[in-house]
Structure 1
Amino acid sequence: MVLAGVVLAAVILQSKTPSQSGTNLEDMLPIWKVENDCVLSKKGDVTLAFKLTLPEIFTLSREEYDALHHIWLKAIKVLPTGTIMHKQDWFVKAKYQADFEGEANFLKRSELYFHERPYLAHECYLMLTLKAQDRKPQSSATSTLLRKGILPQRVNDEKYLRKLLDSVGQFRSILSDSSFITLEQLKEEELIGTKEKRGFIEKYIGLADQNESIQQKDIVFKPDMTIGKSHVEMYSMSDVEDMPTTCSPTQHFDKYSTDKTKFAVGFATPVGHLLPVNHIYNQYMVVEDTSKTLKKMEAKQRRLQSLATYSRENAISMEATQDFLNEAISESRTPIKAHFNLICWTDSKDELNDIRNQTASALAKMDIVPHLETSGAPQLWWAGIPGNAAEIPENECFETFAEQAACFLNMETTYRSSKSPFGIRLGDRLSGLPLHVDISDEPMKGIITNRNKLVAGSSGSGKSMFMNHLLHSYVLQNAHCVVIDVGHSYTGLCELLGGYYFTYSEDNPIKFNPFFLAEGEILDTEKKESIKTLLVALWKQNDETFRRSEYVAISNALQSYYKFLQVYKEIFACFDTFYEFLQREFVKELKEDNVKDRDFDMNNFLYVLRPFYKGGEFDYLLNAKENLDMLNQRFVVIELDNIKDHPILFPIVTLITMSLFISKMRKLKGVRKVIVIEEAWKAIAQGGMAEFMKYLYKTVRKHFGEAITVTQEIDDIIGNPVVRDAIINNADCKIILDMKKFQNKFDGIQQALGMTDKGRDLVLSINRANDPNYRYREVYIELGNQLMTVYRYEPSPLEYYAYSTEQTEKVKVQEYAKKYGSILKGLVALTSELKEN
């Protein structure tokens, strides 16, 4: 077993204990060997160790905490008498390391902003120790740490291992089947390490990261406890008088609570993630023979009863013991012995006062009287060595029930990144640590049935900033995005991506060319149908009838026009040349086919379409000569702000946009397609396109696509039954930003969105306790009404100015872009100057 020369340089204990100096820890180590991935102690104890994956912090409801508490209870109750469950949670300060290698695209540059962002890393370990049969109870005075020599006892591997493995199998199944927790057994190499890497045992002994270089560390207990350069403080929770009078699996977290909601966190969370110092939280539960424990308590109760008349303290203790026995029998409780302690450390002695204050404050939030351990610290530290839990001193444990003790278990871990290669960058709610989060593909494996999204948030909530980041991430991962916008929120992003931006102004009116065929594109049925639909919309009003003969005539006209273009390749495909073809060529075909005006009125058709031909009022609309390859352009923005009320332009532009996306949806096989309908959905619905939206939301999932609706006013969606049914019922992902302004009427929104009370509490907790040192907004993401999480979205300065919708900031970005030759160079120069200032 590799211990890499860890040395116990000085052990100075209590005055009555013989001192030991310069002792080699490898000689004293209570671990005999690791065999078959089991840790065997020199006293005959057998231990199996696991690494646990817990639910993410701030993602559980009160009911889920209760369920998790019940699962722990069920698991503890299957453990045989003599078993010690030792749960060890590590919380270590760390700094995020950005990836400086690979292609430095815009988002990769932005990620460098988070380099060395501090956060608290968490790892959770669970050890199940079966004590040797003849082992005597340990006390602080009989700890093996105080003995000069430890002789190995004979270990009956088969007998002890089978007993432990059978119970561990049941224990493991109960936890794993819950879907809250996963267990992974630590292998021999992970326990004892290698010459290059520390194992778990060495990690604890040296308070070192497993990847830290292996070196000798001195361990000193008096006058102050130090391990290497680390100054260590220990707080024990072992005296019943210091413990809370009541406990439960949860407690209120006031920072995220409102007048109407009580945000729940685990009871032990204050000494977990909310304690921002290096610390280990040790949780011990010793399973004893219930009948023997109750007999002992009965004897104690009778003894106290006989002494009750001599002391009020005896009378009170007698009543407490009586209550314990009554509860044990009437409620079928499981009596156990329990001990909890915190080991906190820092490399700077000057920080010890801060650690004491923060730790005392954390314990006070659990209604625990802080007790700084001094005399018993060496023995408690010794018992914390993985595989040595049987050395926990009996006088440091207290009698309780498993139901109460399980409340003190840490039940949460830090946020985790998705394993999927596709996703967006979001941040951990506590620290802003960058995470890779997939809200589209990974959840399709049993959580959601479509990738559609509803994004809602009041003005100023960071909605546009978040959507810019989401679409930017999608495009850089080869998705095609079509955005229908009202408000010019995507100008900077479109310029960065080299996309097509269609908008209307008097100087530069909006232009399309639905007749153009890009290189490699053919006149298929999809293309013909979209042009025919457009021509019919230009010709006929909604209330006018449309005859079959007219449809055939237009279809023949298109077929002939594209054959004509194949002969005369110098002619540019656009509405103007199509109109001229109708005047000069197609009229001849009609005469040859003897088509009557009652079947197709060519003169009426040309007259109605005349405004879109050169010299007409709208001659710009369908004759564009730039931004033509719409099918292969990955980012297209159609800005409707200036035409949303125009009776001619708006319906035509809307129709062209829908045809564009349907073309992408059906022709781009294996490519992600995304359509984003911002506040423009209101105008689209009013323009008779609600049925199209209904069709789109139900169909897009079959073509590897996503439909995303963005709105400021959820009431508008709720009030429109067609759009409500199309959007809400067919959007399995709901993204909600700050909703404080709707707090007093959130019940209606909750009902309309089908949101649970857990979701409501999370939404109303958004931005209630933001860190003033960072500029970010929080965002709630719900997937399939099952996974609900609040993340940070914190744009880097580079992203912030690229996506900003503030007019003054947009003007400044344009000035720098013009000065430095491109928007990217301008943004880099602008943010560099701001950083220097």
Structure 2
Amino acid sequence: MKSKKLEEVLPIYAIENNLLISKKGDISVVYKLELPQIYSMDVDSINDINAIFDKFIRSFPEGTIIQKQDYFFIDKVTGALADAESILTRSDNQFFFEKPTLSHECYLVLTKDSKNTISFTSKPQLYKTFIQETGEFQKLVVASMSFLTKENYFSAERLKDDALVLLLDKYFSLSKDGDTFLKDVFMDKKLQVGNKHAEIYSISSNLQLPIKIDSSIRNGDFSTPKTDFQIPFIQPISVGLDCNHIYNQVIYIEKSEKLYSHLTSKMNKFKSLAVISKENKLIYDQINDLIQTVLEKELKFVKQHYSVIIWNESQEGLDKNRTEIKNSFRELGMTPYQIKYAIENAYLNNCPGAALFLQDSFKFIGVSEQAPVLMNFESYYEGNKSGILFCDRKNGAPLRLDLWDEPVKRGLIVNRNRLIFGPSGTGKSFLINHIASQYFEQGHHIVMIDIGNSYKKLCQLCNGQYFTYDVGEPLQFNPFYTGGEEITVDKKVFIISLIIFLWKGDDSYRREEKQILAMYIDAYYEFLQKNTAVFACMSTFYEFVCANTVLEKEDVYFDKMSFQLSIRDFHDGKYAEILNSRNPIDLVAERFIVFEMDNIKDHPVLFPLVTMLCIDVVMSKIRQVPSVKKSIFIDECWKPISKGEMAEFIKYLYKTVRKFYGEVAIATQDVEDILDTAAGPAMINNTDTMILLSHKKKMASKDKFAKYLSFSESDLEKLFSTDKREVYIKVGSISNVYKVTVSPQRYACYSSNADENKTIYEVYNETENMELALNQFVESNN
């Protein structure tokens, strides 16, 4: 075969003024599109996007070609995921380095047909007209792109000259980064670009499509007996195909009457041949149905072309890719044509800006309404610059999810609080460890209140403060101590809630009792200002109440004897040490704090009391560092403080932490735990972020999620598709599922396996070095 020079076969003449110019004088404007995340859209969103793009197609005049190209490249993670020097961050960089993944880029090429070949030198008037029409076309493109991007599904950036050169390089080198020196291209019955073996599959006829095409299809892997997980129809051959490929989609806008006439002529031909074979009768029926649909719905005829280029650096790899793509087409009921004898035309003229040169045999007539169903409007997961390290569900590629700043800036949430639901065995503590460790690495102050020693290793690794409540040597607090400052409203609310709990327990109280108690607190602090020798604590407050009255005939509403009998244990009885400390815990400088409550988890008084006191200590801390990010994790311990007056305390907690640049993350096993408490509505109403682990064994909760957490059907489909080591996250109205994939060092740090922890602590107890203990465990298990 005689070789040809590139300039002889390349259909693009020039790149000038941010335009692609073909050898016939067609001009093309190119945009790079950002698309919605894969698996993020429900059926309504899919239909909405298709309707928007149909209107976009209709906005252009005859002679316009809309070419959409999706490039999918097998890639590797090469850059560092973070710059921090902690053992866990270093392990992330090492663990994910050179991990194979897929990347995606989407380009929209809008071409104006020049009608006739332009001579740029011999016909100045024709050239002048060409320039004028080019300007008008660009104005139309800007208006249409504005319409396309206003719905928030898409964002677009116009490519300039250098980016256009790079795009052509990507296409003709089949390489993500392009290639300055284009490789030899072999196009005789097979396609080979440099060392890359390639094949092209085309959809060039309605007969290659299934009889009925829906905008979405059921994904069997993620569906359950009670939920249907829907994905866009075309996903299996676009974002769902796990190999190097380009999905090319071209819409030709021509005179509808011309296309109608052509289609009618073709239909009549097959009608006369219908008696010969059933196949001819079937083709006649299909064309007739298409024409009737267009006439009834007043749709617009268009020509279209769809093709997929796959490639691999080895022939064996390409054989495997061929099997994959044929299976994907088969899944959709499509029968693609593998292009061999016209491969030069198909490859060269599918390049950006050259679609007008594509031979007619590769085009077929359809309607603008159906065309978007065959186009890809999804991309792989887009991460943030900072946030929690997860992996995308499709390819396992690492990405960062910002749950702190970005959702607030976008207006998705008004608070950073979150509820975490994880049924037993789904990895709730593992996930919380993962979130807390990264927030600590990113500068947050972390406080964790826990049952079960789930966060001890992480605390020791971070050189944090670990408080374990021991009945023999109890933690000592002093909620009355203000350091000589005037008592704040928040502090007063907390003390009232605390005393009512100690006095009334789970019993109801009268509003008058609460009001009189508030008056006693005001009077007590006035007394302290005048009597500086008196130390503020529970004992002196108890003595003050016993010795004074704040209201005439207060005994009608305030049972002082009941108060004394209930509180006395905290004055000079068995719990006297807990609320009368003269050395209040100072945690302002501590960045990682854990309060472990396992020893008192079954105590009806101490458990809720100490939990409340720990939170109050934390509140005192966060008020002193208002500009620092603060995360408070309460794992199961919230239950005892959610009854009666404690519901008011929960509201106080949410309100206060929000004002001081913080969040409360409350974790529990079941949504029923929240719903069955008095504080439940307050917790849900003040939480804009929901994090849920696999609920496949909790399908009975489906209706409760819909009713009480306002989960849509799409939210429920995603939630119940979540498997082990996956997490469903809903931020405001946006939701998706992510993988929790971690390095061996992070696994060792987070694991709750008793045997593994025993091995780790054998080293730690000898060395008092948790980093060394984790590394030795990882090395011994390699």
TM-score in same-fold range (> 0.5): yes
- Separation in 1, partners of 2:584, 2:122: 81
Identify the residue that residue 133 of structure 1 maps to in structure 2: 115
Alignment-mate amino acid for residue 821 of structure 1:
E
Contact 1:454 1:708 in 2 (8 A): yes
- Separation in 2, partners of 1:275, 1:94: 14
Identify the residue that residue 757 of structure 1 maps to in structure 2: 713
Distance 1:551 1:305, change over 3 A: closer
Distance 1:530 1:400, change over 3 A: closer
Identify the residue that residue 568 of structure 1 maps to in structure 2: none
- Separation in 2, partners of 1:390, 1:626: 82
Provide, for residues 283-324 of structure 1, a one-character-per-residue CA deviation record: whole Å limited to 9, x for no partner: 111111011222233344445555666776655544444333
Identify the residue that residue 147 of structure 1 maps to in structure 2: none
Contact 2:433 2:750 in 1 (8 A): yes
Identify the residue that residue 439 of structure 1 maps to in structure 2: 403
The CA deviation at 1:264 is: 1.0
Q: How does 1:712-751 map to 2 (within 5 A)?
A: 712-720=669-677, 722-751=678-707
The CA deviation at 1:632 is: 2.8
Question: What SS does the corresponding residue of 1:255 show, helix, strand or coil?
Answer: coil
Indicate the larger mover: 52-61 or 26-35: 26-35
The CA deviation at 1:514 is: 5.9
Identify the residue that residue 552 of structure 2 maps to in structure 1: none
Identify the residue that residue 155 of structure 2 maps to in structure 1: 182
Distance 1:431 1:28, change over 3 A: closer
The CA deviation at 1:536 is: 5.8
- Separation in 2, partners of 1:269, 1:152: 49
- Separation in 1, partners of 2:524, 2:710: 47
The CA deviation at 1:822 is: 0.9
Indicate the larger mover: 181-190 or 395-404: 395-404
Provide, for residues 471-517 of structure 1, a one-character-per-residue CA deviation record: whole Å limited to 9, x for no partner: 22222222223322223222122222222222234565444466889
From 525, 538, 546, the counterpart of 2:487? 525
Identify the residue that residue 672 of structure 1 maps to in structure 2: 629
Distance 1:515 1:822, change over 3 A: farther
Contact 1:715 1:749 in 2 (8 A): no
Alignment-mate amino acid for residue 731 of structure 1:
T
Contact 1:75 1:170 in 2 (8 A): no
Q: How does 1:171-570 map to 2 (within 5 A)?
A: 171-192=144-165, 199-210=166-177, 214-222=180-188, 224-305=190-271, 316-419=282-385, 421=386, 423-444=387-408, 445-505=410-470, 509-512=474-477, 523=485, 525-526=487-488, 551=521, 554-555=524-525
Question: What SS does the corresponding residue of 1:280 show, helix, strand or coil?
Answer: strand
Alignment-mate amino acid for residue 205 of structure 1:
F
Identify the residue that residue 91 of structure 1 maps to in structure 2: 72
The CA deviation at 1:376 is: 1.6
- Separation in 2, partners of 1:539, 1:296: 87
Alignment-mate amino acid for residue 468 of structure 1:
N
- Separation in 2, partners of 1:466, 1:701: 23
Distance 1:100 1:319, change over 3 A: closer
The CA deviation at 1:92 is: 0.5
Q: How many residues of Structure 1 are paired with residues of Structure 2 in the alignment? A: 759
CA RMSD, Structure 1 to Structure 2 (Å): 3.6
Provide, for residues 706-747 of structure 1, a one-character-per-residue CA deviation record: whole Å limited to 9, x for no partner: 122111021122222x22211112211111111112113411
Contact 1:674 1:705 in 2 (8 A): yes
Indicate the larger mover: 482-491 or 447-456: 482-491
Provide, for residues 303-350 of structure 1, a one-character-per-residue CA deviation record: whole Å limited to 9, x for no partner: 555566677665554444433332221221211111111111111122
The CA deviation at 1:241 is: 2.7
Alignment-mate amino acid for residue 398 of structure 2:
P
Identify the residue that residue 648 of structure 2 maps to in structure 1: 691
- Separation in 2, partners of 1:668, 1:522: 19
Alignment-mate amino acid for residue 168 of structure 2:
I
Identify the residue that residue 771 of structure 2 maps to in structure 1: 824
Contact 2:422 2:670 in 1 (8 A): yes
Contact 1:674 1:708 in 2 (8 A): yes
Identify the residue that residue 558 of structure 2 maps to in structure 1: none
The CA deviation at 1:170 is: 3.3
Question: What SS does the corresponding residue of 1:726 show, helix, strand or coil?
Answer: helix
Question: What SS does the corresponding residue of 2:325 show, helix, strand or coil?
Answer: helix
Which 5+ residue runs of structure 1 have no aligned equivalent?
Answer: 1-11, 13-19, 137-149, 193-198, 566-572, 592-597, 599-603, 768-775
Question: What SS does the corresponding residue of 1:52 show, helix, strand or coil?
Answer: strand
Alignment-mate amino acid for residue 777 of structure 1:
R
Alignment-mate amino acid for residue 65 of structure 2:
I
- Separation in 2, partners of 1:41, 1:78: 23
Provide, for residues 406-438 of structure 1, a one-character-per-residue CA deviation record: whole Å limited to 9, x for no partner: 21101100101124x4x2111101122111111
Which 5+ residue runs of structure 2 have no aligned equivalent?
Answer: 549-554, 556-561
Alignment-mate amino acid for residue 440 of structure 2:
V
Distance 1:468 1:443, change over 3 A: same
Identify the residue that residue 594 of structure 2 maps to in structure 1: 637
Provide, for residues 590-629 of structure 1, a one-character-per-residue CA deviation record: whole Å limited to 9, x for no partner: 99xxxxxx9xxxxx99999896799x74466468799932
Distance 1:255 1:833, change over 3 A: same
Contact 1:83 1:129 in 2 (8 A): yes
Determine if the alignment matches structure 1 residue 812 to structure 2 residue 778: no
Alignment-mate amino acid for residue 174 of structure 1:
F
Provide, for residues 65-90 of structure 1, a one-character-per-residue CA deviation record: whole Å limited to 9, x for no partner: 01111111000111111111111111
Distance 1:435 1:524, change over 3 A: farther
Identify the residue that residue 14 of structure 2 maps to in structure 1: 33
Distance 1:270 1:653, change over 3 A: same
Contact 2:188 2:344 in 1 (8 A): no
Contact 1:84 1:389 in 2 (8 A): yes
- Separation in 1, partners of 2:303, 2:186: 29
- Separation in 1, partners of 2:773, 2:100: 30
- Separation in 1, partners of 2:566, 2:328: 77
Alignment-mate amino acid for residue 72 of structure 1:
F
Question: What SS does the corresponding residue of 2:21 show, helix, strand or coil?
Answer: strand
The CA deviation at 1:127 is: 0.6
Identify the residue that residue 770 of structure 1 maps to in structure 2: none
- Separation in 2, partners of 1:535, 1:261: 45
Indicate the larger mover: 733-742 or 295-304: 295-304
Distance 1:103 1:739, change over 3 A: closer
- Separation in 2, partners of 1:152, 1:108: 65
Question: What SS does the corresponding residue of 1:333 show, helix, strand or coil?
Answer: coil
Distance 1:645 1:208, change over 3 A: closer
- Separation in 2, partners of 1:235, 1:315: 27
Q: How does 1:66-77 map to 2 (within 5 A)?
A: 66-77=47-58
Distance 1:75 1:347, change over 3 A: same
- Separation in 1, partners of 2:322, 2:73: 16
- Separation in 2, partners of 1:466, 1:188: 46
Question: What SS does the corresponding residue of 1:525 show, helix, strand or coil?
Answer: coil
- Separation in 2, partners of 1:308, 1:537: 88
The CA deviation at 1:234 is: 1.3
Identify the residue that residue 725 of structure 2 maps to in structure 1: 777
- Separation in 2, partners of 1:649, 1:109: 41
Determine if the alignment matches structure 1 residue 795 to structure 2 residue 742: yes
